[in-house]
Structure 1
């Protein structure tokens, strides 16, 4: 059997006060969790405003705290501190990084763990791509051969008390399974106001029973949620379309697209089925087809691109006022089993067609995804 891998990017404690991962609680309950902070006073003030009741401000990380919790890092660490951060992540602490230098250092830690690491870039109000600043990390599975499955989520927009509290809560209440060994998550939060919000929850599924010694097989369940500005009370903008594109050979030739679903559909119906069956075991799921008027298949086996365009509509009108979630999927192999990158690009389009005029706005998130070996 080929060895399993983990992923990389570009881009909690003793159970006293910590929320049990298996029992999600109200968002405000996360404030009871111990928080250990290393960084600038400005971010420290935001942590206090988030309402955390057990905050320890550390000038330096000299040892791992006895009580597990959340470590928030907003400055570059020295080598000794990086080693302790590595141990903290492996020992069920949740790590939240703020800024580029802590993100880069976490990427190096994850590469040594042969886990996952991602960098998110998203459209700002001027349509320019900017880097996501806040990331949350948690180990969700210890894999064979000293490898790890990791949950990662990025948050767009400015660093706020609410973002820090939400990042800690969502990391604590997310679990993985044996096959689903990684999650890549991101939220536009309110940075694309007034148009709407985009949330990404991609599951990376590893085939543990593959028969090959020279390659690994992975599946991606590409859950993408789109919320219109109208539903959020921000504007009259409606959901118009989603374009999901996955470029497997953007950086390297080691990835090969093996299967994907769905293909083009004009009469979508109430449900969209997804079946990935390049080799057993088959992966299958479905997602609602309501308010999807057309799915265009933009995939290409010859260039190893998986892609879809979901066109949303409602009766007699462009777009829809409803929140929608799509979940297309694809399988790819890694051969030879070496570290490499892919590029994923997801574009959301919103429309406002009130008063006889038609206005469309779109925003994009680019994900540089690295699979470490």
Structure 2
């Protein structure tokens, strides 16, 4: 029995419908049209993700504008400059107050300064002024120098408050004794020049004049000479402080100072011959003697600095070794506890020794001499 054409058409209809559906699923959708009838452009496709080194860095917040928030490096500098200006103004005010106070006693201060010269001048002698304002300006200079000296403790205090925040704790402990020693040595040198050098030096100059020459010093010339000599003697007496700083910086050692001791003594007499107003040996000895003593004192200061440095270095090495080998440190503590059980238990040692130990200690104490800078073989 044969199939009719109508039946074939009916049988083929589902297949045609399925093929159309599958074709619709796989074919791209027709572009949409907008209200005006035109085609709407498709959205832009995402760019491919970069791979490897081409990957873009993560987005970061941009730094603040220097004009809005300021620069972090400039802010502390500006603060320090403002603080420095404030403390300088305070120092100037202190000098002004000291100047006003000393100007009120200017006549008495001038009398004190002229005393060493007037003691050796012939009776009835006076200083002269070669210009009208010479005496006035000399008195003003004297009041200014004296006012700065009176205000110097407050000036040093302001300087300390400015630099102290930038110092370590150990440096702050050292700087105060050093500052006190600096002031003491400077004042001591100025007093030495005033009471010891001035009388001998001025007497030599006055006696050097002959019958044809009359000594008539001017007030300004004497003031300049006296202040210069006082300042020079104050600086010379700072020799132990200078040696302390040089030793602390590692520029000199106790061994070096001992090695050049003879040259230092010779240099002391050369400097004394230059600074001393008189060429006689007595005044040179009066000037060179303190410098030699100060140099020897500087050797002792250098020895103490070297000793402290070595002890600090040994302590740090012991701490570093203990940090690397904690077991060894515990073993040493255990050995120490076994050797001295009373100290380990927190008891005070009895201090009792056998007769042999006591005799040995007394013999060692009698033969041993105190250590010093000349007895340190490892100095330097």
Which category describes the TM-score, using the shorter chain as reference length? under 0.3
Q: Name the TM-score, length of structure 2 as normaliser.
A: 0.24
Name the structure where strand makes up a greater proportion of residues: 1
Q: Which has the higher contact order (CA 8 A, sep 6+)?
A: 1
